[in-house]
Every structure is written in structure tokens, then in C-alpha cells.
Amino acid sequence: MEDDMTSRPASKASFYLGFLLLLNVFNFAHRQMPISLGFQIETGLGISHAQLGLLIGYAFIVVYSVAGMLLGTVADRWNRPRLIALGLTLWAAATVVSGLSQSFFQIALLRLLVGTGAAVLTPTALGMLADVYRPERRAFAAGVYYGGIPLGAGLSLIVVALLEPVVGWRACFYVAGAAGLLMVPFILLLKDPPRGGHEATAGTPPVQPPGAARSTTEVLGEIVRVARRSPALIATLIGSVFVLWPISALTLGVTWLQVERGLTMTQAGLYSGVIFLVAGFLGNLAGGWLSDLCHRRWSGGRLWFLALAQLVIGPPALAWYVLPTDSVLFYVVWFIGSFAATGYFGPIFATVQDLAPARVRSTMVGVLLLVVNLFATGLAPWVAGAIGDATTLTRGLVICSLVGFLSVPFFVFAARRYAAGIARRDG
């Protein structure tokens, strides 16, 4: 009987994780479209590397980040599956219409709408996963959820590489958006799990606030108070910005492979897709599992893991930009770099969730996305593209990769103060 009672929550958690992972695959497949089709969009619309960097970065990220934080406060109060369904409807429809764009301005405007809709998913989904997984398993759950990055991006690259030469780049947007719209009815069947169930003590009900219990202003005010009493949380946010610069700049990688390394559209897309899908997904799983292992053994173990991973993987990953494409080592390093890069997400999000009270967890994830997206995901591609227009994309990508090493002292600082942050979390 006890085993049956234990297995049912585990099965429920696994179902939520699998379903939300699928949604995140669609999320990143749609986000990936300008990355997968970067060279073709540059040629078709007559835009520069810097403009493509803006299209991939700030045209999407600014509204995505701000909306993510604000919608995180909504997710802390409203029915979360319905909120996700609304967001998916918006971002998938905007993806379809993106195929009709005739200028940089038009496609950038539609990217704003994609960003608004997509902003719903991650704060809401991670809040739901934190409610069905115990604290010691949250990095694993977040790592699996963020497997949607390599799965969605990899599948997008592969499908686009095979489809674009046949139907053109515009039809690729139509197909991707239509597939997303088909998922909406299934989301509406999903139940919203009780909030804060694993933080509840015996005899204390889970946190399940009514929709109008707190205003957005009150929730944001609490976020400020949480940040003020947690130096570990602030240092984690800053370290996350720096460690994600190399990955963010590499969104220009498919274009770089075609423009400066001589690969065809099909080669660049297929190689990138297969490597990122396999290595990236394995990296998400490994990063979540290893960081959870470190978390169980040491205070701030996930943060120590992040610092060590950057120091170990960062130097050899830089070699990829200068190795010849006909060398086996080029592809070996490419695989290792993709494996390592995605391993950061699980421990980062799990740490932020641990340091935030359950009642504002989705909002704090939104804050993390705001900070990371404004200062890494949005900024790094534009910087790399601008340097690429002035000199070479290779130089721009290498410079952005070096920024990643600035994360190490912040993760070390946060690890040393992690225990104090947990102790003061609900104060």
C-alpha cells in the first residue's frame, strides 16, 4: 500500500514533466526559426548580421522577458494550464504569419508577438514542476524540461534543413505554427497542481491562493524584499548572465557555418540539428543529475558544479572556432561543447527556485528570465553580429565565449552564501 501511494505522486510528476517538456519542444522550435533560417532570411529580406542578431535577440527577448516576469505573477495566482494555452495560441499564430513578412520591421514585429505568447510557458511550467517534485529532485526536473532547448532547436534545424530546399523558407514558418496550434486543446485538459505542496508541513495545507488574493504590485514588492535579503540569489542571477553569453552568441552559429566555414544550408542545418539534439539533451540530463548529486553532498553544490563546469569545458570549447571543418576533432569538440552548454539550465533554475519562497516561485523564474534574456540572450547575438559585420563572425563568437568565464567568481560567492540564503528565504 505504501509503495502504491509513493508511486502515484511519482507517476503524476513524470506525466507533468513529459507533457511540459513536449510544450517546451514546440516553444524552442518556434523560437529557433530565425536561427535555423538565418542566412535565408538575410538573403530574402536583405538584412545584415547585426539585424539578424537583433531579430534572434532583442526583437524577441525584450518583450519575452518583461512579459515573462509579469505573467509569472499571473501564474502565481491564476489557472496555469489555461494561461499556457492562451500563450501557445498567440505564439503559434504569430509564427504562421511570420512567413508572410516582406521586411525586417514586419518580421521583427511578429517576433514581439511570438515572444509575448512564449513568455507564459517557462515561469508557469517550472512553477508547476516545483509543486510536483521534491526540492532534491528539482534540478533534474528542470534539466529534463530544458531538454526542450536541444530537442526543439535540434528538430527545427533538421526539419528546416530538409524542408526549406523543397518549399522555401516562408512555408517553414507556416508548418511550424500550424503544428503548435494543434496542441492547444490538449493543454486545456491538464489540471493545475496545488501550489507549494512539497514545502507544506504536516497539518499545513499547500499554498493555493485565490485568483485575486494578491495584486501584481504586491507580488513584485515581495520579490524585491526576497532579493534584498539573499546575496546568494543576486550573485546567482549575475553569474547566470555571464555563463549564458557563449550559448546566446552561438545562435548565429548556423549562419557562421554557411558564411565563413563553407557549409551548405543542408549540411549546416543537419549537422547542427543532430549534434545539438543528441548532445544537448544528454547535457541537460547530465547537468541536472550531477548538480543534484553535488547538492546532496555540499551546501550550494549546484553552484559549485556551475563554476567547475565553466572552468573545465570553457577552454576546449573555444577551440571549435579555429579547427578546420574537415577535421574529426572539429565535430568531437562541437559535440562536447553542445553537451556542456545545455547542462547549465537545470542547476541555475533549481537554485533560483530553492532560494525563492514557494508563493512567488513563478515570478522569480520570470525575474531570472528577464535578467538573463536582456543581458545575455538578447545582447550577445547583437554584439557578435555587430563584430561580424565589422570584422568576422568568428571573432565576434570567440569574444562572446570569453565572457562566460566571468561567471565563475559569482557562482563561487553564491555557493558560499547558499545556506544563509535558504535560512532567510521565508523570513
Residue type at 190 in one-letter notation? L
Q: What is the pLDDT along the chain (427 residues), one digit of tens a residue?
A: 334 334 556 678 888 898 899 999 988 888 888 888 888 898 889 888 888 888 888 878 888 777 776 776 676 778 888 889 998 999 899 999 998 988 999 999 998 888 888 888 887 888 888 888 877 777 778 778 877 878 888 888 888 888 888 888 899 999 989 988 998 999 888 887 876 655 554 444 544 444 445 566 766 677 777 778 789 999 999 999 999 999 899 888 888 998 899 898 889 889 998 998 888 888 878 888 899 899 889 989 999 999 999 999 888 888 899 899 989 999 999 998 888 888 888 899 889 888 888 777 777 877 888 889 889 988 998 999 999 999 999 999 999 999 999 999 999 999 999 988 888 766 5
Q: Would you say residue 96 lies in a domain?
A: yes
Q: Would you say residue 367 lies in a domain?
A: yes
Q: Show contacts of 195-202: CB within 8 Å, 24+ apart.
A: 195/76, 195/127, 195/131, 195/358, 195/359, 196/131, 196/358, 196/359, 197/131, 197/132, 198/130, 198/131, 198/133, 198/134, 198/135, 199/358
Q: Would you say residue 153 lies in a domain?
A: yes
CATH of the domain at 249: 1.20.1250.20
Q: Would you say residue 198 lies in a domain?
A: no
User: Which triple of cell numbers denotes residue 39?
Assistant: 542566412
The 8-class DSSP code of residue 191 comes to: P
Per the structure, the count of domains in the chain is: 1
Q: Would you say residue 193 lies in a domain?
A: no
- Full residue range of the structural domain in which residue 227 is found: 8-182+214-423
Q: Would you say residue 196 lies in a domain?
A: no
Q: Would you say residue 78 lies in a domain?
A: yes
Contact 355, 422 (CB under 8 A): yes
Euclidean distance between CA atoms 241 and 369, whole angstroms: 10
Q: Would you say residue 284 lies in a domain?
A: yes
Q: What count of Cα atoms within 13 Å lies in the side-chain half-sphere of residue 211?
A: 5
